[in-house]
Structure 1
């Protein structure tokens, strides 16, 4: 195995003497290197947009989104997946993260697990991974056997495959339908890909999941209208979302939320259009969950009815 060919494993000349620097010099070098991450991501924005469009379409058609990785990459996938239900009210099965070594690897490194490509196939089969689904393989080096095994299996099934790596011409990029490759360069501490590469992966995953949720109608304006009000902070956020999304006062927002069983999206629709909760549910279903479309359709229908009544 020749790691010297991997960008993420090369030595960084900027930090060659970081062990003898002052603390301020040390963090200055880190910040200067971190500033390169944004530029690396900017170069691949068209590919990220393509991945969002393809992923959202799969999910609209009944598919699910899976992240698969080892070590830091696997933990980042799990982190992104776990944030979707509270933020966007999704079923926990819709976006899932798999890591080499399973649950213990989330908290403690299980380094040997990443070398087994068959383990990824086993993990995917246990989750009934299907041709309708999407698999995002995450590996900073782009050569992790566990991730390669998962992508190969997903490709054979006909599922959508996306590769997220930080090294040029990576093995996983060659296996995937869509390659996302923000090349962040050598790390401050050689090979420590939890740093620049990990940050870049986190930012790309933020874009992928957020963009997909927007496409699925989980956002109105920039409000997370499908937020699941499962604690006091989120209940208060839901009230604010209804107030900001509809322009109503707090009392009306709380009343609408109560009638809507805590669903901010439905409450906004009820306040803006004056329809009942049951009518609102039907309107949202017809609009495939998109609040803006449901409002337009409901108000347009009401306007048409008023014109007909006036003519009579």
Structure 2
């Protein structure tokens, strides 16, 4: 099948007559296509590494990380941003996701919201953007005006700009200083980029936020020592971490965690107390 390499996300699906296929066959098709996503990301690892290497020193200096997108892409950015505070204990204003159409668009599509090339920069003004901030535009097609406009204006302002796209040579990739292009090919349902393209974007966002937070010291060994203790499951997890880290009984670990509010703070207090006793 011939394929438009400049817009693979809009190319026709190689699968035909889907409505005539069995459930088992459709599941096999989807699974078969999903398996190509990690391979496409593997080819983009050097671009992802370059982007993260530029993000880390800016965040170390106080910069914030913004994601902007429309539709599925915008929602994925918001999901990744919203998970950083509970997972890594960073303030809610360090990683921020914005979606075309505002917060109401998280649940329900806002018609034509993505078509205004000036709106993203206007939306960013509520956060008083600074040159040390970072903006990553997310758009499977790489041609969403909301995202292209926001990235272009942020770059002109002096912010570090990156993007996650699923086509090569897109307008968004040209607008961003550090593009990440993950070309996953046509979707099972032609143009339905919530599928493979969305999966690819989610995986890349996982990489960006996780590796950045590790580099910022928010993980010790393989443990989320700064996670927010917002439910019983996480309190139990934190208690187990302290038992392993400090080799102390569960009851003592639970008391330390309750008193100091995080695994990191509890471990630090325990070690400082031991040093005082030894000294």
* CA distance in structure 1 between the aligned counterparts of 2:114 and 2:74, rounded to whole angstroms: 10
The answer to whether residue 272 in structure 2 is matched with residue 275 in structure 1 is yes
TM-score with structure 1 length normalisation? 0.84
Q: Name stretches of at least 5 consecutive residues in structure 1 with no aligned partner.
A: 278-298, 307-312
Query: Secondary structure of 1:229's match?
Result: coil
Rg comparison, structure with higher value: 1
State the partner residue of 2:18: 18
State the partner residue of 1:265: 264
Root mean square deviation of aligned Cα: 1.9
1:225-251 Cα deviation digits (max 9, x unpaired):
000112222211211222223332212
The answer to whether residue 195 in structure 2 is matched with residue 195 in structure 1 is yes
Deviation at 1:257, TM superposition (A): 1.9
More displaced, 103-112 or 191-200?
103-112
* CA distance in structure 2 between the aligned counterparts of 1:172 and 1:211, rounded to whole angstroms: 24
Deviation at 1:46, TM superposition (A): 1.6
Relative distance call for 1:248 and 1:47 in structure 2 (3 A) is: farther
State the partner residue of 2:179: 179
Deviation at 1:121, TM superposition (A): 1.2
State the partner residue of 2:226: 226
* CA distance in structure 1 between the aligned counterparts of 2:153 and 2:246, rounded to whole angstroms: 47
Deviation at 1:8, TM superposition (A): 0.2
State the partner residue of 1:309: none
More displaced, 191-200 or 235-244?
235-244
Query: Secondary structure of 2:63's match?
Result: coil
Deviation at 1:17, TM superposition (A): 2.5
Matched positions, count: 275
After TM superposition, list the pairs within 5 Å mapping 1:59-70 onto structure 2: 59-70=59-70
Structure richer in helix, relative to its length = 1
* CA distance in structure 2 between the aligned counterparts of 1:101 and 1:204, rounded to whole angstroms: 24
TM-score with structure 2 length normalisation? 0.94
* CA distance in structure 1 between the aligned counterparts of 2:175 and 2:138, rounded to whole angstroms: 12
1:89-120 Cα deviation digits (max 9, x unpaired):
11100000000000110010113010001111
Moved over 6 A (4+): none
* CA distance in structure 1 between the aligned counterparts of 2:203 and 2:246, rounded to whole angstroms: 31
* CA distance in structure 1 between the aligned counterparts of 2:269 and 2:105, rounded to whole angstroms: 45
1:11-48 Cα deviation digits (max 9, x unpaired):
121x1222211111111011001100010000111211
After TM superposition, list the pairs within 5 Å mapping 1:24-35 onto structure 2: 24-35=24-35
